[in-house]
Structure 1
Amino acid sequence: MENVNSVLESGNRLDIIRAIKDLKQFLEETEVTETRSMCSNRLVAILHKPNGTSTDLRIYANENLAQSEEAVINSIVNVHLPRELDAGPDNTLVFCMVTLPESNKTILGGPDPLYEGRLVGMSVRGKNVSRLRERVNITMIFTSALNETHVPRCVFFDFSTKAYRSDGCLTLWEYGQINVTCSCDHLTYFGVLMVSASLQPIHQEILSYITLIGCSASLFALVITVLLFITNRKARADVSMKVHINLAIALILLNLHFLPSQMVAALSSGRLCIYIAVSIHYSLLATFSWIALEGFHLYLLLIKVFNIYIRRYLLKLSVVGWSIPAVIVSLVVIINKDAYGRVPLDITNPNSTKICYIRSDTVKMVTTVGVFTLVFIFNVIMLGVIVKRVVSLRQRKEFEVSDRDRAKRDIFTLLGVTTLLGITFGLVFFSFGYLTTPGLYFFCILNSLQGFFIFLWFVMSLRKTGNSTKAAKTSNVTRSTNS
């Protein structure tokens, strides 16, 4: 413990991680015949020897002492271990509190400081404790006032990835509270990060109403769009319209499952919440897939105009658009079935409104943010190519319409194509840092109404097709009269 203390004071990041990991293993392997408490400068530990009966266990610790069952004076950490651990006489339950120096609060990674530089580690000799039904509750007392611009977030340190994670941990805390409780379903080294508060409660409430109204309007408009497609024979014969309708169906599924997500998360039914979370994930990925396919289809229409024939073109698009998301979601369920569940809308405030969605940060980053980033880059390139093509066509041809009408038509066309390509989703990249609040407002307004914009695009396309048909008939009558 003295050697670890010296590493904490002067070691680099990798040395500190290695020292804490070695200490954890060493304490687990230490043989004791009775409960023993130890202290050495920045380390406080207790080796608890169970008496053979399976009961709840409480551990209390301050900066100089840790003991089980009995509270200590000026306790700063209280731990409640559930009976489900089932530790017997052959197991040793290890508790170790590590306090990093002031200068090393962020040395373990991440921009956010570790509160008081404190890590609380727990393990059971001979057991890998995870996925507990009864959670482990670690309560940390705040010994100094919190910055109003920061909120606590419970995390654990993953020694394999050498980074903080929050999978399986809930942060139980409210504004003004003098302590925070980390409720987790496994044992390891836990800590509390002080993260910047992203939004004030008033903004969260306004954004929730905007999202609810926008998604409801989009869902209604998208259903009307599908009905118009079904009842219009010419629209059913148009391949482009079929691609648009597949995107509309993906958005219908997304809105249909997202709207009741908050209500379902408030219920006690875990299985229903998991179903909603899986459905939202699948429909979101399907939306991204069809957005990418919209870009690919527009590229074929405008760039590869001649000599293009793809056998069973729409069937192949459908296989890509609907199957790839299904494969991704299936792999997530197989690899980590606990990746879905209740999560707070604001990750920096765990007590904010919860919805049913992806709980795993890794799954969320890879399968949603990662996939969308690739789709966004592809469609931005497609948009640039399309704009260049339209501009070149305008320069070659002379039109009877005025420059103002031509500019108006081009602007509306560009806005429609931008909606189909999902470019507005890219506003999420501007919802960080100083642009957090305005970026989130633009993101919520434009993307919650994306279904409504697609409805407008569809109606305008039908109207344009009707006008073209009328013009063709008029032209035929005129030629007949002249003859």
Structure 2
Amino acid sequence: MLTVHSSRSNPPLGGASCLRTMRSRYIAFLPGLCVLLMSLGAVAQKAGTPCARCPRNAHCVNATACLCDPGFAELSGKTIFNNSLGVCTDIDECGPPFYLSCGSLAECHNVEGSHYCECTSGYELFSGGTGFRSEKENTCQAIPFSSWTPPPGVNSQSLSHFFDKVQQLSLNFTPASANTTIQDLLQEVDELLETPGDLETLPRSQQHCVAGHLLAGLEDVLRGLSKPLPDGLLTFDYSAGTELFLEVQARGVRDVTLGKSYAKMQLNWDVAQESGDLGPSVVGLVSTPGVGRLLAGAPLVLEPETQAALHEAHKGWLQDGAPVLLSDVTSVFLSDKATQSLNVQATFTFSHRSVATSGPRQVFCAFWERGQKGCGHWATTGCRTVDLGDTSTTCRCSHLSSFAVLLAPYDVQEEDPVLAVVTYVGLGLSLLCLLLAALTFLLCRAIQNTSTSLHLQLSLCLFLAHLLFLTAIDRTEPRALCALVAGALHYLYLAAFAWMLLEGLHLCLAARNLTVANYARVNRCVGKLMFPVGYGGPAVIVAISAACHPHLYGTPARCWLHTHKGFIWTFLGPVCTIFSINLVLFLVTFWIVRKKLSSLNSDLSTLQKTRMLTFKATAQLCILGCTWCLGTLQVGPAARVMAYLFTIINSLQGVLIFLVYCLLSQQVREQYRKWFKKIRKSRAGSDMYTISSKAGSDTSRPSTASMDQHLKPQ
């Protein structure tokens, strides 16, 4: 057997394992070696091969290609270009199509090849830096002292010295020193108000401007200084009485209460949060008693509606002089500057000196309304008094500002006693005449027609209105009964004017159609309109008015219509319309009648006709209500004269109705004669019966005596 043997001998087991380990290490090192060789090759190629010629603001990629530097772009829009004529232009990151956002209160600035963000004027970074790159780095906040400068046009060494110190505080301010800066600032304000120096020598108007400027500037500065403060409640007190209460918290919906016994504020915390601001919110209340010196004599401007309500409530309100500050001036500020119209009203409670002083006074919750150049005045718009005590007042306001409680003196224009006597005597006489006229129109059958029906309804409405006016106009309690009286007077006077309108219409139509046939047609036409217009129209007006504003019936002074929101025009509007129409109708009637009279027989005395026509025309003007226009002429120097004319003529309206429609009517006079004759006859008959009765009793007495004599026992 042939046997073949190999010359390679098998290695031992330990040698095989070592070989495998060396092979794996070589394989792992191979990729790194390849990368190194490639890099060395590229370096060698770059060193040995020239780079492409690239334009400015570009660098080469290889021997034939170029790429624009960061912040630049090739004009044709290509990313890599291999033409040495390419142009790399600056990319405007602040403009289209990029529009890099720097965030709120910041502006984007483009530079060649780059950009930066910067806070807008009046704002700075929380860190104190000058620029940043993107919205994520934005911490812009208001520079507290940027807008607080001396008021223009005021020359005062004390004020200049104060603002020099404010300027020094602004230079030393850092967010970390906010607490200390607030203390130093309030100390300076306290010292200025405690010793105002030459500020007290300025004219009153300039003092008011300085005070308004200080209040507004202090709010803005404290708002900015408070933002870096840590969360919590802080209180600052000073010797002259200046106090500051601050609360810094995150968003919430609870109520916050700030202040002490002299001034407290309650506000919903959600109102303090500035829209879009996710940081902490600030609510501050600063009380500055010393500023009251500079605001002495500042005017109080009331809106027309408030003035009208006070005039009604106090029977002749007339503001007398400047108001007096009862409380300290208290300013309120929030993180959110948009506090002109709050969703939830703020409640303020002020403690003040007693209001129990002599003379008529009115207490107001007022705020300082700034005008041009920081000047202004006290106003009450948006604020109302909730509770008034002898030494404290609670107010609610729909906006925030600088507030105080004011005591405004006023004069009461006392009613003219002579005018009051004329009113009561005239209305009393009118009531008697209207009653007699109504009885005449009801009982005198000879004169009953459409015209008489109009006179009767007018007399009844005026009688009831005058009677209610005399007996209940001043009975303001209870409130519900007063409102009912006001509504009844509203309806009765409107109904009286509606019947006056029908009187004027009927008079005009009757003058135009003097024939019997046409006159009958006029009676039928007016008869259909009588009651729907006379009573239905006023009922609709009063119903709508009462449904819309029932609380405006009855005022604190009398049971009549309120002037608030122009409610009085629910009466004056229809009245002015009616007497304007009646005036036109009367002039037309007067012209027609005058032409008719001039064409009559000349046997009658022209002078007598003219006198009678003039008298009846004048009386008819009053009966138709046209003299009510005198009420609108009670202004200026002639106001007193017009008041007397208006009162006398209109209070005697019932007398004129009785005189014109009854005493000057021949048919009525004939009826009166018949009634008087019947009364005389009845009286004469009763007298004869009385005499005969007496005679009969006298003749029967002897027989009775004799009978008694006979019946008398002997």
Aligned with residue 211 of structure 1, among 407, 419, 423:
423
1:392/1:312 Cα in 2 relative to 1: closer, same or farther (>3 Å)? closer
- CA distance in 1 between partners of 2:494 and 2:466 (Å): 13
Aligned with residue 452 of structure 2, among 224, 229, 241:
241
1:120/1:461 Cα in 2 relative to 1: closer, same or farther (>3 Å)? farther
- CA distance in 1 between partners of 2:560 and 2:296 (Å): 37
Aligned with residue 555 of structure 2, among 334, 342, 361:
342
Q: Greater CA deviation, 87-96 or 241-250?
A: 87-96
- CA distance in 2 between partners of 1:362 and 1:413 (Å): 40
CA contact (8 A) 2:232 2:247 kept: no
Structure 1 gap ranges (5+): 10-19, 38-43, 58-66, 73-78, 130-135, 142-147, 158-163, 171-178, 344-353, 471-483
Matches within 5 A, 1:9-408: 70-71=261-262, 126-127=343-344, 200-201=413-414, 203=416, 205-236=417-448, 238-265=449-476, 267=477, 269-305=478-514, 307=518, 309=521, 311=524, 313-343=526-556, 354-408=557-611
TM (norm. structure 1) is 0.60
Query: How far is 1:278 from its partner?
Result: 0.6
The number of aligned residues is: 386
* Partner-residue secondary structure (3-state), 2:555: strand
Give the aligned CA root-mean-square deviation in angstroms: 5.9
1:395/1:365 Cα in 2 relative to 1: closer, same or farther (>3 Å)? same
Q: In the TM superposition, what whole-angstrom CA distance separates every residue of 1:192-249 from its partner, at most 9, and x where no partner exists? A: 999997x95261x33223222222221222122111111111233x211111111112
Structure 2 gap ranges (5+): 1-143, 152-204, 206-215, 237-242, 273-282, 308-317, 333-339, 354-358, 368-378, 674-714
Q: In the TM superposition, what whole-angstrom CA distance separates every residue of 1:254-278 from its partner, at most 9, and x where no partner exists? A: 112211224422x3x1111111011
1:412/1:165 Cα in 2 relative to 1: closer, same or farther (>3 Å)? farther
- CA distance in 2 between partners of 1:201 and 1:183 (Å): 31
Q: Which amino acid aligns with 1:252?
A: F
1:212/1:52 Cα in 2 relative to 1: closer, same or farther (>3 Å)? farther
Residue of structure 1 equivalent to 2:183: none
Q: In the TM superposition, what whole-angstrom CA distance separates every residue of 1:409-441 from its partner, at most 9, and x where no partner exists? A: 112211221122112212112211111111111
1:101/1:156 Cα in 2 relative to 1: closer, same or farther (>3 Å)? closer
- CA distance in 1 between partners of 2:432 and 2:246 (Å): 61
* Partner-residue secondary structure (3-state), 1:301: helix
CA contact (8 A) 1:154 1:182 kept: no
Q: In the TM superposition, what whole-angstrom CA distance separates every residue of 1:291-315 from its partner, at most 9, and x where no partner exists? A: 2222111111112446462656324
CA contact (8 A) 1:277 1:358 kept: yes
CA contact (8 A) 1:87 1:124 kept: no
1:420/1:234 Cα in 2 relative to 1: closer, same or farther (>3 Å)? same
* Partner-residue secondary structure (3-state), 1:456: helix
- CA distance in 1 between partners of 2:654 and 2:330 (Å): 48
CA contact (8 A) 2:580 2:626 kept: no
Q: Which amino acid aligns with 2:649?
A: L
- CA distance in 2 between partners of 1:116 and 1:370 (Å): 36
CA contact (8 A) 1:332 1:363 kept: no
CA contact (8 A) 1:153 1:192 kept: yes
Query: How far is 1:169 from its partner?
Result: 8.5
Q: Which amino acid aligns with 1:438?
A: V
Residue of structure 2 equivalent to 1:442: 645
Q: Which amino acid aligns with 1:375?
A: I
- CA distance in 1 between partners of 2:581 and 2:506 (Å): 12
* Partner-residue secondary structure (3-state), 2:558: strand
* Partner-residue secondary structure (3-state), 2:428: helix
Q: In the TM superposition, what whole-angstrom CA distance separates every residue of 1:364-393 from its partner, at most 9, and x where no partner exists? A: 442222222222221221222122122212
Q: Which amino acid aligns with 2:488?
A: S
CA contact (8 A) 1:105 1:117 kept: no
Aligned with residue 629 of structure 2, among 405, 411, 426:
426
Query: How far is 1:325 from its partner?
Result: 1.2
Q: Greater CA deviation, 105-114 or 384-393?
A: 105-114
1:104/1:314 Cα in 2 relative to 1: closer, same or farther (>3 Å)? same
